[in-house]
Amino acid sequence: MAVYTHLGAEDLAELIGHYDVGDLVSAKGIAEGVSNSNWLIETTGGRYILTMYERRIDTGELPFFLGLLDHLAERDCPVPATIHDRSGAAFRTVDGKAVALIEFLPGVSPNQPTATQAQALGTALAEMHLAAQDYALSRENDLAPVGTLAMLEALDADALAAIDPALPSAIDRGREVVAAWPDDLPSSIIHSDLFPDNVLMLGDAVSGMIDFYFACQGAMAYDLAVTHAAWAFDGTGRTYDPAIGSALVEGYCAVRPLGDDERAAMPLLAQAACLRFVASRAEDWIETPADALVTRKDPMDFVRRWDFYAENGAALFA
C-alpha cells in the first residue's frame, strides 16, 4: 500500500489532457496496490483511477490486463473499464513508466463479510468466469502450484524454519499437491487473488472486482478455491466460518454448477491455493527487513487453512 512515485499537478494535468475526460479538479494518491501507484482523479467529467505500473508487471502484459477489463465491463461484470486516450491507446508512458486511466467504481471492501455478501461474490465470480471464456488474449499462470512450489523450494530452509518450525514441511506437502494436480479441469481467465480488498460492495451487492494483475488462464474451480480460502476464515486462518464458505460456493454454483470432477478436486485445489499464499508470503517475509514500515504477512495463516482443508476438505465440498 503505497504511492511510489510523485506526480505533480502539472504532470497530471498534462497526462489527463490526452483523454477526453474534462479538466483536472483533484488528485489524491491512494494507498492501494502493491506493485503500482494509484491516484483517485477527479475531473470536470467524472472520477477515475490512475494507475502507474512500478514493478512486477511487464508492460508487455498490459494489453492482456487492460483488454480484459474492457471485455468484462462490456459484458456487464462489475469491473472497471479502461479509459482509452484520444488516439485509442489503453495506456501511455510517463517518466518511462506505463500509466492507465480506469473507471472509478463506488463501493467499499468488506472487512467482515456476511454470508449474503459472500453469496453475491460467488455469483459475480461465476459470471466473470463465463464472460471471460471468449476473451481473445491469454496469459500463463506463473503462480500455478508448480510455480509456487518452486518459489518455496528456492527459499532457504533455515530462514523458513526461523519463521516457524512447522513451515519447512510445506515443501513436502506442496510436492504432493503438485503431483496430484489435475490438468484437465474446465478453464477460463481467472482472477487468482480475489481477497476482500479486491472486492467493492454497496450493501449486499458487488459493485466492483478490482486488481486483476494476477489474472491468467486457469481452472475456474481453482479460482473459487482461492476465493474460499481468502473469504471464509479469520485473518490468522484459525477460525473457519461455514456460513461464508457455503454461501460463496452456493452463489457460484447458482450460475455455474461445479462438475463432478471439479467438486472432487476442490479439497486439493484449496490446498493448492494455500500453497500459493504460503510461498509468496514466505518469500516476502524473508525479503522484507523486520524493521521496514510494511506489515509482513505471516505465511502460517495459510498453513493453518491448509491443515483445515487437508482434514475437512472432502466433507466441506462434498
Short-list 32, 86, 76, CA closest to 54: 32
The minimum distance between CB 54 and its own copies, in angstroms, equals 12
The minimum distance between CB 197 and its own copies, in angstroms, equals 10
The minimum distance between CB 179 and its own copies, in angstroms, equals 38
The minimum distance between CB 222 and its own copies, in angstroms, equals 27
The minimum distance between CB 309 and its own copies, in angstroms, equals 25
Residues that bind its own copies (CB under 8 A): 1-3, 6, 8-13, 24-32, 40, 42, 104, 106-112, 200-202, 289, 291-294
The minimum distance between CB 23 and its own copies, in angstroms, equals 9
Coil, strand, or helix at residue 224?
helix
- CB pairs under 8 A, 24+ apart, for 259-264? 259/186, 261/182, 261/184, 261/185, 262/185, 262/186, 262/219, 262/220, 262/221, 263/221, 263/317, 263/318
List 97's β-bridge partners, or say none. Answer: 94
Residue with smaller CB distance to its own copies, 293 or 318:
293
- Backbone φ/ψ region at 290: left (φ over 0), alpha (ψ -120 to 50), beta: alpha
What are the residues whose beta carbons fall under 8 Å from the beta carbon of 316, sequence distance 6 or more?
A: 245, 266, 267, 309
Q: What DSSP string describes 38-74? A: EEEEEETTEEEEEEEE-SS--GGGHHHHHHHHHHHHH
Residue with smaller CB distance to its own copies, 27 or 144:
27
Q: Which residue has the cell 477515475?
A: 48
Residue with smaller CB distance to its own copies, 107 or 147:
107
The minimum distance between CB 97 and its own copies, in angstroms, equals 16
Residue with smaller CB distance to its own copies, 104 or 240:
104
Coil, strand, or helix at residue 265?
helix
Residue with smaller CB distance to its own copies, 207 or 246:
207
Tell me how far apart the alpha carbons of residues 215 and 64 are, in angstroms, rounded to a whole number. Answer: 9
Residue with smaller CB distance to its own copies, 105 or 144:
105
The minimum distance between CB 122 and its own copies, in angstroms, equals 19
- Backbone φ/ψ region at 211: left (φ over 0), alpha (ψ -120 to 50), beta: left
Residue with smaller CB distance to its own copies, 3 or 152:
3
The minimum distance between CB 27 and its own copies, in angstroms, equals 5
Residue with smaller CB distance to its own copies, 108 or 150:
108
Buried (b) or exposed (e) across 160-188, using 16+ Cβ within 10 A? beebeeebbebbebbeebbeebeeebebb
Residue with smaller CB distance to its own copies, 193 or 262:
193
Tell me how far apart the alpha carbons of residues 241 and 230 are, in angstroms, rounded to a whole number. Answer: 11
Radius of gyration of the CA atoms of the chain, in A: 20
